[in-house]
């Protein structure tokens, strides 16, 4: 009995813990190959984002959004969510750093890009001084299509501003500060060019008159109606994990019973298709060469973006619908 009681009092044997193999991380300058930082005892489950934060402590001038961490000096940037132990590196890992330059948030970029055209167009519409001859200061156009065009243009950019604030979320929080000057030059410059001619005192209405204007207005309003449909946004939410907080699963968007979503049967980027349609309607409404040129340039750029997204979808999803085109059904 004493022997049994003594055994029962003995403490159970402790489970042996697995030894954690820590990593050593050195970060070199991608251009000069100089060592910038050495991190000792980095946990194997540390992410690139956490390594950026550690690097930032030793180099405060390079905040995480400004850093590009790579496995190869000329390779692609690693994602913040990449885990150290899952990368093709040994326990002594070497990464290469490249400075992306000063960064600015995408929200700030879009608000700046879209506020400019809205304000600039209205300055021409109200014919403020120094734009047209003094006798036309603060006058109004005699053509009703000019007022209609102003309402459509303003509505388009107000909608974009509201989408930026309340709808869109971005997979990348920032972009290089230098890009905002290029983007603003594009949007603001085209807005001024279009507004100058549409609101010019000598502007003449479209050649087919009211019939052409009404057809164009119907096209514009229908496209806006489609773009504003929450169904499209909801489907796009499934596609991007950044729009579903906590979810990393990316899914292929498919049409639902709602007819506004049926375009997903034919194109990968319906938002670009709708954007093109609305500007085609605006071009038909105003019959203005600068508007037509803006539509053409925008179409070319959106086609480049759409093709890039379409290629990434094909690589990511083996069962991606083969009938879909990037931006124009069966064409492009």
User: pTM of the entire structure?
Assistant: 0.78
Q: Are 97 and 67 in contact (CB under 8 A)?
A: yes
- The SS3 of residue 250 is coil
Q: Which DSSP helix (H) or strand (E) runs through 68?
A: strand 67-70
Q: Are 30 and 73 in contact (CB under 8 A)?
A: yes
pLDDT the model gives residue 230? 45
Q: What is the mean pLDDT of residues 62-76?
A: 88
Q: Do you know the residue count of the chain?
A: 332
Residues of the chain with CATH 3.10.20.90: 23-101
Q: Above 70 in pLDDT, residue 99?
A: yes
| Most distant pair of Cα atoms in the chain: their distance | 116
Q: Above 50 in pLDDT, residue 263?
A: yes
Lowest mean pLDDT among 46-60, 107-121, 131-145, 163-177: 163-177
Q: Above 80 in pLDDT, residue 75?
A: yes
pLDDT the model gives residue 88? 87
Q: How far apart are CA 35 and CA 76, in angstroms?
A: 20
Percent of the chain as helix, strand, coil, to the nearest 5: 55, 10, 35
pLDDT the model gives residue 239? 47
Residue 40 structure tokens:
């000792």
Mean pLDDT across the chain? 83
Q: Above 90 in pLDDT, residue 190?
A: yes
* CATH label, 23-101, candidates 2.170.150.20, 3.10.20.90, 3.40.50.720, 3.30.365.10: 3.10.20.90
């Amino acid at each position: 009995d004493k022997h049994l009681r003594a055994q029962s009092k003995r403490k159970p044997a402790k489970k042996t813990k697995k030894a954690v193999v820590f990593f050593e991380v050195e970060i070199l300058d991608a251009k000069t190959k100089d060592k910038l930082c050495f991190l000792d005892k980095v946990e194997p489950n540390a992410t690139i984002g956490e390594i950026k934060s550690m690097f930032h402590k030793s180099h405060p001038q390079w905040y995480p959004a400004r850093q590009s961490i790579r496995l190869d000096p000329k390779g692609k940037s690693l994602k913040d969510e990449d885990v150290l132990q899952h990368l093709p590196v040994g326990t002594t890992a070497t990464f290469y750093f490249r400075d992306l330059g000063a960064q600015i948030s995408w929200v700030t970029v879009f608000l700046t890009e879209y506020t400019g055209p809205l304000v600039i167009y209205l300055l021409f519409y109200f014919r403020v001084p120094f734009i047209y001859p003094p006798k036309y200061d603060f006058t109004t156009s005699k053509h009703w299509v000019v007022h209609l065009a102003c309402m459509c243009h303003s509505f388009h950019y107000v909608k974009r501003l509201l989408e930026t604030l309340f709808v869109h979320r971005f997979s990348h929080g920032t972009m290089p500060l230098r890009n905002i000057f290029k983007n603003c030059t594009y949007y603001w410059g085209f807005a001024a060019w279009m507004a100058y001619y549409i609101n010019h005192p000598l502007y003449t209405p479209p050649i087919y008159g009211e019939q052409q204007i009404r057809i164009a207005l119907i096209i514009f309003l229908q496209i806006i109606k489609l773009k504003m449909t929450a169904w499209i946004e909801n489907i796009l939410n499934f596609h991007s994990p950044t729009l579903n907080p906590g979810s990393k699963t990316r899914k292929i968007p498919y049409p639902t019973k709602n007819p506004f979503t049926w375009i997903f049967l034919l194109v990968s980027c319906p938002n670009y298709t709708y954007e093109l349609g609305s500007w085609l309607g605006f071009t038909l409404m105003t019959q203005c060469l600068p508007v037509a040129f803006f539509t053409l340039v925008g179409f070319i750029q959106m086609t480049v973006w759409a093709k890039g997204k379409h290629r990434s979808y094909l690589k990511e999803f083996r069962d991606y619908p083969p009938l879909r085109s990037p931006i124009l059904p069966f064409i492009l």
